[in-house]
Structure 1
Amino acid sequence: MKNILLIILALGISYSCKNDDDFNPNTELIGNWKLIEVYVDPGDGSGTFSSVKSNKTITFRNDGTITSNGNLCDMSINSDSQTSGTYSKAEMSFNSADCNNPTYDFTFEQNGNILIINYPCFEACQSKYIKE
Protein backbone atom coordinates (compact mmCIF):
# COMPACT_ATOMS: atom_id res chain seq x y z
CA MET A 1 0.00 0.00 0.00
CA LYS A 2 2.87 2.34 0.86
CA ASN A 3 4.49 1.73 -2.55
CA ILE A 4 1.26 2.49 -4.39
CA LEU A 5 0.91 5.79 -2.56
CA LEU A 6 4.51 6.71 -3.41
CA ILE A 7 3.92 5.90 -7.09
CA ILE A 8 0.72 7.98 -7.18
CA LEU A 9 2.50 10.86 -5.45
CA ALA A 10 5.43 10.69 -7.89
CA LEU A 11 3.10 10.62 -10.90
CA GLY A 12 1.09 13.53 -9.54
CA ILE A 13 4.21 15.62 -9.06
CA SER A 14 5.60 14.81 -12.50
CA TYR A 15 2.33 15.72 -14.25
CA SER A 16 1.87 18.91 -12.25
CA CYS A 17 5.29 20.29 -13.19
CA LYS A 18 5.28 22.40 -16.33
CA ASN A 19 7.73 21.14 -18.92
CA ASP A 20 8.82 24.18 -20.92
CA ASP A 21 11.87 23.11 -22.89
CA ASP A 22 12.03 26.52 -24.60
CA PHE A 23 12.46 28.44 -21.34
CA ASN A 24 16.01 29.44 -20.52
CA PRO A 25 16.39 31.64 -17.42
CA ASN A 26 19.94 32.64 -18.45
CA THR A 27 19.03 34.19 -21.80
CA GLU A 28 20.96 37.37 -22.62
CA LEU A 29 19.08 40.52 -23.57
CA ILE A 30 21.57 41.25 -26.38
CA GLY A 31 20.40 39.78 -29.69
CA ASN A 32 17.29 39.33 -31.81
CA TRP A 33 13.75 38.95 -30.48
CA LYS A 34 10.71 37.95 -32.56
CA LEU A 35 7.16 39.16 -31.90
CA ILE A 36 4.87 36.24 -31.00
CA GLU A 37 1.88 37.66 -29.06
CA VAL A 38 0.06 40.87 -28.17
CA TYR A 39 -2.03 41.68 -25.11
CA VAL A 40 -4.90 44.14 -24.93
CA ASP A 41 -7.15 44.46 -21.90
CA PRO A 42 -10.66 45.82 -22.59
CA GLY A 43 -10.70 47.39 -19.13
CA ASP A 44 -12.19 44.66 -17.01
CA GLY A 45 -9.03 42.61 -16.43
CA SER A 46 -10.14 39.89 -18.84
CA GLY A 47 -7.46 40.49 -21.49
CA THR A 48 -5.14 37.71 -22.58
CA PHE A 49 -2.14 37.38 -24.86
CA SER A 50 -3.10 36.41 -28.40
CA SER A 51 -0.75 34.80 -30.92
CA VAL A 52 0.17 36.85 -33.97
CA LYS A 53 1.76 36.02 -37.30
CA SER A 54 4.42 38.63 -37.76
CA ASN A 55 7.95 39.09 -39.02
CA LYS A 56 8.54 41.97 -36.63
CA THR A 57 11.78 41.69 -34.71
CA ILE A 58 13.75 43.88 -32.36
CA THR A 59 17.47 43.75 -31.72
CA PHE A 60 19.30 44.85 -28.59
CA ARG A 61 22.94 45.66 -29.31
CA ASN A 62 25.97 45.82 -26.99
CA ASP A 63 26.37 49.57 -27.61
CA GLY A 64 23.04 50.42 -25.93
CA THR A 65 21.01 50.75 -29.12
CA ILE A 66 17.81 48.99 -30.04
CA THR A 67 16.58 48.54 -33.62
CA SER A 68 13.48 47.06 -35.20
CA ASN A 69 12.18 46.24 -38.65
CA GLY A 70 8.84 47.57 -37.38
CA ASN A 71 7.67 50.48 -35.26
CA LEU A 72 9.18 50.44 -31.76
CA CYS A 73 6.64 53.06 -30.66
CA ASP A 74 3.46 50.99 -30.87
CA MET A 75 2.07 47.47 -30.80
CA SER A 76 1.87 47.18 -34.58
CA ILE A 77 2.70 43.71 -35.90
CA ASN A 78 3.94 45.17 -39.20
CA SER A 79 7.56 44.83 -40.22
CA ASP A 80 7.67 47.55 -42.84
CA SER A 81 9.39 50.49 -41.11
CA GLN A 82 12.86 50.62 -39.62
CA THR A 83 13.04 52.34 -36.23
CA SER A 84 15.76 52.62 -33.63
CA GLY A 85 16.50 54.03 -30.22
CA THR A 86 18.54 53.56 -27.08
CA TYR A 87 17.90 51.32 -24.10
CA SER A 88 18.96 50.95 -20.51
CA LYS A 89 19.17 47.44 -19.11
CA ALA A 90 19.46 48.86 -15.59
CA GLU A 91 16.20 50.80 -16.04
CA MET A 92 14.63 48.09 -18.24
CA SER A 93 13.46 50.80 -20.65
CA PHE A 94 14.07 52.27 -24.09
CA ASN A 95 13.15 55.39 -26.03
CA SER A 96 13.26 56.39 -29.67
CA ALA A 97 13.51 59.66 -31.59
CA ASP A 98 11.22 57.93 -34.13
CA CYS A 99 8.29 58.14 -31.67
CA ASN A 100 5.85 61.04 -31.30
CA ASN A 101 7.23 61.57 -27.78
CA PRO A 102 10.97 60.84 -28.16
CA THR A 103 11.65 61.18 -24.43
CA TYR A 104 9.00 58.64 -23.36
CA ASP A 105 10.57 55.59 -21.75
CA PHE A 106 8.91 52.34 -22.82
CA THR A 107 9.45 49.74 -20.10
CA PHE A 108 10.13 46.09 -20.69
CA GLU A 109 10.58 42.97 -18.63
CA GLN A 110 12.63 39.91 -19.45
CA ASN A 111 11.91 36.50 -18.05
CA GLY A 112 14.44 34.15 -19.60
CA ASN A 113 13.83 33.93 -23.33
CA ILE A 114 10.57 35.92 -23.11
CA LEU A 115 10.56 39.70 -23.41
CA ILE A 116 7.45 41.82 -22.77
CA ILE A 117 7.24 45.47 -23.81
CA ASN A 118 4.70 47.72 -22.08
CA TYR A 119 2.98 50.44 -24.10
CA PRO A 120 1.19 53.56 -22.85
CA CYS A 121 -2.51 52.70 -23.01
CA PHE A 122 -5.50 53.49 -20.81
CA GLU A 123 -5.71 49.77 -20.09
CA ALA A 124 -2.87 47.27 -20.18
CA CYS A 125 -1.33 46.62 -23.59
CA GLN A 126 1.86 44.69 -24.23
CA SER A 127 3.82 42.86 -26.89
CA LYS A 128 5.56 39.56 -26.20
CA TYR A 129 8.76 38.53 -27.97
CA ILE A 130 10.83 35.35 -27.89
CA LYS A 131 14.61 35.20 -28.28
CA GLU A 132 15.68 33.95 -31.69
Structure 2
Amino acid sequence: MFLVIVKPGMMRILLFIFLAVFISCNKEEFKKHHYELVGKWKRIEVYVNPGNGGSWQPDRPEQPVTLEFTADGKLISNDNFYSNFSSYHLNSDNSIEFQPPLNGSLRAVYYSFNSDTELTLTFACIEGCGDRFVRY
Protein backbone atom coordinates (compact mmCIF):
# COMPACT_ATOMS: atom_id res chain seq x y z
CA MET A 1 0.00 0.00 0.00
CA PHE A 2 1.25 3.44 -0.91
CA LEU A 3 0.59 6.33 1.45
CA VAL A 4 0.97 9.95 0.41
CA ILE A 5 1.19 12.67 3.01
CA VAL A 6 -0.02 16.01 1.70
CA LYS A 7 0.63 19.18 3.66
CA PRO A 8 -2.12 21.85 3.79
CA GLY A 9 -0.22 24.22 1.45
CA MET A 10 0.31 21.44 -1.09
CA MET A 11 -3.39 20.60 -1.03
CA ARG A 12 -4.25 24.10 -2.32
CA ILE A 13 -1.64 23.84 -5.07
CA LEU A 14 -2.92 20.40 -6.14
CA LEU A 15 -6.51 21.65 -6.11
CA PHE A 16 -5.52 24.69 -8.22
CA ILE A 17 -3.70 22.48 -10.76
CA PHE A 18 -6.62 20.05 -10.93
CA LEU A 19 -9.13 22.87 -11.51
CA ALA A 20 -6.94 24.52 -14.14
CA VAL A 21 -6.64 21.26 -16.08
CA PHE A 22 -10.35 20.50 -15.71
CA ILE A 23 -11.46 23.94 -16.90
CA SER A 24 -9.05 24.03 -19.84
CA CYS A 25 -10.21 20.61 -21.06
CA ASN A 26 -13.85 21.63 -20.99
CA LYS A 27 -13.43 24.75 -23.12
CA GLU A 28 -12.88 22.80 -26.33
CA GLU A 29 -15.25 20.01 -25.41
CA PHE A 30 -18.23 22.31 -24.94
CA LYS A 31 -17.41 24.81 -27.66
CA LYS A 32 -20.56 25.19 -29.76
CA HIS A 33 -20.45 25.35 -33.51
CA HIS A 34 -22.16 28.28 -35.13
CA TYR A 35 -23.49 27.23 -38.51
CA GLU A 36 -25.16 29.71 -40.83
CA LEU A 37 -28.67 29.05 -42.16
CA VAL A 38 -28.49 31.85 -44.74
CA GLY A 39 -27.77 30.48 -48.19
CA LYS A 40 -29.06 28.07 -50.81
CA TRP A 41 -29.97 24.49 -49.90
CA LYS A 42 -30.93 21.46 -52.03
CA ARG A 43 -33.00 18.61 -50.56
CA ILE A 44 -31.24 15.25 -50.69
CA GLU A 45 -33.38 13.07 -48.40
CA VAL A 46 -36.95 12.87 -47.12
CA TYR A 47 -38.01 11.17 -43.89
CA VAL A 48 -40.67 8.59 -44.78
CA ASN A 49 -42.68 6.84 -42.08
CA PRO A 50 -45.59 4.70 -43.24
CA GLY A 51 -46.06 3.47 -39.66
CA ASN A 52 -43.05 1.16 -39.41
CA GLY A 53 -40.60 3.44 -37.58
CA GLY A 54 -39.55 5.41 -40.62
CA SER A 55 -36.31 5.97 -42.48
CA TRP A 56 -34.52 8.57 -44.57
CA GLN A 57 -35.03 7.99 -48.30
CA PRO A 58 -33.17 9.67 -51.19
CA ASP A 59 -35.02 12.56 -52.79
CA ARG A 60 -35.91 12.54 -56.50
CA PRO A 61 -32.86 13.96 -58.28
CA GLU A 62 -34.86 14.84 -61.41
CA GLN A 63 -36.93 17.39 -59.46
CA PRO A 64 -34.65 18.79 -56.74
CA VAL A 65 -36.35 20.86 -54.07
CA THR A 66 -34.41 24.01 -53.23
CA LEU A 67 -34.64 26.51 -50.39
CA GLU A 68 -32.93 29.85 -50.10
CA PHE A 69 -32.76 31.65 -46.76
CA THR A 70 -31.73 35.27 -47.33
CA ALA A 71 -29.99 37.47 -44.76
CA ASP A 72 -33.00 39.81 -44.63
CA GLY A 73 -35.42 37.00 -43.65
CA LYS A 74 -36.87 36.04 -47.03
CA LEU A 75 -37.58 32.43 -47.97
CA ILE A 76 -37.47 31.37 -51.62
CA SER A 77 -38.38 27.84 -52.72
CA ASN A 78 -39.54 25.81 -55.71
CA ASP A 79 -41.43 23.31 -53.50
CA ASN A 80 -45.24 23.28 -53.07
CA PHE A 81 -45.03 23.23 -49.26
CA TYR A 82 -42.19 25.71 -48.70
CA SER A 83 -43.37 28.12 -51.41
CA ASN A 84 -46.46 28.84 -49.26
CA PHE A 85 -44.14 30.99 -47.15
CA SER A 86 -42.32 34.17 -48.10
CA SER A 87 -40.27 34.86 -44.98
CA TYR A 88 -38.85 33.21 -41.87
CA HIS A 89 -37.78 34.02 -38.32
CA LEU A 90 -35.36 31.98 -36.19
CA ASN A 91 -36.44 31.30 -32.61
CA SER A 92 -34.15 30.58 -29.66
CA ASP A 93 -35.36 26.95 -29.39
CA ASN A 94 -33.85 25.96 -32.79
CA SER A 95 -37.18 26.34 -34.52
CA ILE A 96 -38.04 28.35 -37.60
CA GLU A 97 -41.24 30.35 -37.82
CA PHE A 98 -42.33 30.52 -41.46
CA GLN A 99 -44.52 33.48 -42.46
CA PRO A 100 -47.32 33.96 -43.30
CA PRO A 101 -48.95 31.25 -41.16
CA LEU A 102 -50.25 28.33 -43.23
CA ASN A 103 -54.06 28.14 -43.08
CA GLY A 104 -54.01 30.69 -40.26
CA SER A 105 -51.78 28.69 -37.91
CA LEU A 106 -48.06 28.64 -37.25
CA ARG A 107 -46.21 25.40 -37.81
CA ALA A 108 -43.17 24.58 -35.70
CA VAL A 109 -40.28 23.54 -37.92
CA TYR A 110 -37.12 22.53 -36.07
CA TYR A 111 -33.70 22.75 -37.63
CA SER A 112 -30.38 21.12 -36.87
CA PHE A 113 -27.03 21.04 -38.59
CA ASN A 114 -25.09 17.82 -39.12
CA SER A 115 -22.21 19.95 -40.44
CA ASP A 116 -21.79 23.39 -41.97
CA THR A 117 -23.07 21.97 -45.28
CA GLU A 118 -25.93 19.70 -44.10
CA LEU A 119 -29.25 20.94 -42.69
CA THR A 120 -32.16 18.88 -41.33
CA LEU A 121 -35.67 20.31 -40.98
CA THR A 122 -38.23 18.33 -38.96
CA PHE A 123 -41.85 19.18 -38.36
CA ALA A 124 -44.93 17.62 -36.83
CA CYS A 125 -47.20 15.43 -38.89
CA ILE A 126 -49.07 12.18 -38.21
CA GLU A 127 -46.07 9.84 -38.57
CA GLY A 128 -43.18 12.32 -38.32
CA CYS A 129 -41.79 14.36 -41.20
CA GLY A 130 -38.43 15.73 -42.17
CA ASP A 131 -36.26 16.98 -44.99
CA ARG A 132 -32.47 16.88 -45.22
CA PHE A 133 -30.62 19.46 -47.33
CA VAL A 134 -27.07 20.18 -48.47
CA ARG A 135 -25.71 23.63 -49.12
CA TYR A 136 -25.05 24.35 -52.80
TM-score by length of 2: 0.60
Preserved CA contact (<8 Å) 2:45 2:58:
yes
The Cα shift of 1:120 comes to: 2.1
Preserved CA contact (<8 Å) 1:85 1:97:
yes
Query: Aligned with 1:103: secondary structure?
Result: coil
Give per-residue Cα distances to partners, 1:74-108, cap 9 Å, x unaligned. Answer: xxxxxxx5742212063431313262244223222
Preserved CA contact (<8 Å) 2:46 2:58:
yes
Partner residue in 2 for 1:107:
110
Partner residue in 2 for 1:48:
55
Aligned counterparts of 1:107 and 1:101: Cα–Cα separation in 2: 19
Which ranges of structure 2 fall in alignment gaps of 5 or more residues?
Answer: 1-32
Please state if 1:128 is matched with 2:132.
yes
Distance 1:90-1:71 versus aligned 2 partners, 3 A rule: farther
The Cα shift of 1:48 comes to: 1.2
Please state if 1:60 is matched with 2:64.
no
TM-score by length of 1: 0.62
The Cα shift of 1:69 comes to: 1.7
- Rg larger in structure: 2
Which ranges of structure 1 fall in alignment gaps of 5 or more residues?
Answer: 1-24, 74-80
Q: Which structure's relative contact order is higher, taking Cα pairs within 8 Å and 6+ residues apart?
A: 1
Runs of 4+ residues deviating >4 angstroms: none
Please state if 1:69 is matched with 2:73.
no
Q: Structure 1: which amino acid aligns with 2:68?
A: T
Query: Aligned with 2:67: secondary structure?
Result: strand
| Number of corresponding residues | 100
- For the aligned residue pairs, the C-alpha RMSD in angstroms reads 2.4
Partner residue in 2 for 1:119:
123
Aligned counterparts of 1:34 and 1:91: Cα–Cα separation in 2: 24
Aligned residues: percent identity?
Answer: 29
Q: Comparing both structures, which one devotes a greater share of its residues to helix?
A: 2
Aligned counterparts of 2:72 and 2:46: Cα–Cα separation in 1: 28
